[in-house]
Amino acid sequence: MTYTPHPERYQQMIYRRSGRSGLQLPAISLGLWHNFGDATRVDNSRDLLRHAFDRGITHFDLANNYGPPPGSAEENFGRILHQDFRPFRDELIISTKAGYTMWPGPYGDWGSRKYLISSLDQSLKRMGLDYVDIFYHHRPDPNTPLEETMQALDHVVRQGKALYAAISNYPADLAAEAIAILRSLGTPCLIHQPRYSLFERTPEQGLLETLGNNGVGCIAFSPLAGGVLTDRYLQGIPEDSRAASGSQFLREDQLTSEKMAKVRQLNEIAQQRGQKLAQLALQWVLRDSRVTSVLIGASKTAQIDDAVEMLQQAEFSEAELAAIEAVLV
């Protein structure tokens, strides 16, 4: 059946400008880190992408190594893109990244010019695209000169293979250097993607200030702390959960009694506000005007609905923010 998107999709979403650029991103973006690899039913992946776009989510975030296996998320996304979204390509922001291991040998990892350009060429082929909107260096490379890595990002933008350059997982000091190099090359850094949540506050230690001062956007990944900041684990660890499966992204030993006590306290604050814990967690990250968007993962369309509906809920009062902070101390 031919896909026809919801005619009022843009009335359901809030769009925020990425730093001082001309690009606006949806406050909620969909990450394809999980649930889009070969182990996932393609029909479910298609339903998630369609539903997200119907709710005004125009930004789909990938990386070369997303799957499993690595590369499969891009391949599956590319098939769905060309079957369902081809007429709407200019309404979409598609991002991908390179920086983690993708193939054997010295040229399939980290941040050399050789690796980044080769990886983007492979990503474009997997997705069947001429260009991506945003191309990230996925993590700092301690053994490649930062100038070389940033020159590679500048190069692919000038080639037209990416519209914007970006970085991810860079600490504040290195981010400042990368931003300065890109600016000197004439290809400004559009956005930085750090891990940021109620339980991961590192970006507050200089990174958000650096981004704000330089007019660079911020898009937070893992804003729900791998699912901990949802109602999934409030009553224990379900057998079919990520933590119970031995996932490298959320281990059972990370769900300590102390952390879960905090989760339950945060859930009480959320209930007093008439919202779900996940909604509170997303809204807390978005409370900072320097944060352009939050990346959510989803396995069910209801999770997308919850995130989008959060945007219509009341802003935090000073008392509520203080209560949240008191839990996290």
pLDDT per residue of the chain (329 residues) written in tens, 0 to 9: 799 999 999 999 999 999 999 999 999 999 999 999 998 999 999 999 999 999 999 999 999 999 999 999 999 999 999 999 999 999 999 999 999 999 999 999 999 999 999 999 999 999 999 999 999 999 999 999 999 999 999 999 999 999 999 999 999 999 999 999 999 999 999 999 999 999 999 999 999 999 999 999 999 999 999 999 999 888 766 555 555 455 555 556 677 899 999 999 999 999 999 999 999 999 999 999 999 999 999 999 999 999 999 999 999 999 999 999 999 99
Q: Name residue, tokens 């990892």.
A: 109
pLDDT digits (tens, 9 = 90+) for 235-262: 766 555 555 455 555 556 677 899 999 9
CA dist 174 and 171 (Å) reads 6
Residue 162 CA: distances (Å) to CA of 18, 58, 97, 291 = 16, 17, 11, 22
DSSP string, 115-160: HHHHHHHHHHHHHT-S-EEEEEE-S--TTS-HHHHHHHHHHHHHHT
- Strands 24-26 and 15-17, by their bridges, are antiparallel
CATH number of 9-231+287-315: 3.20.20.100
CA dist 288 and 20 (Å) reads 15
Structure token pair of residue 5: 């998107």
60 contacts 47 by C-beta, under 8 angstroms: no
Query: What pTM, to 2 d.p., does this model score?
Result: 0.95
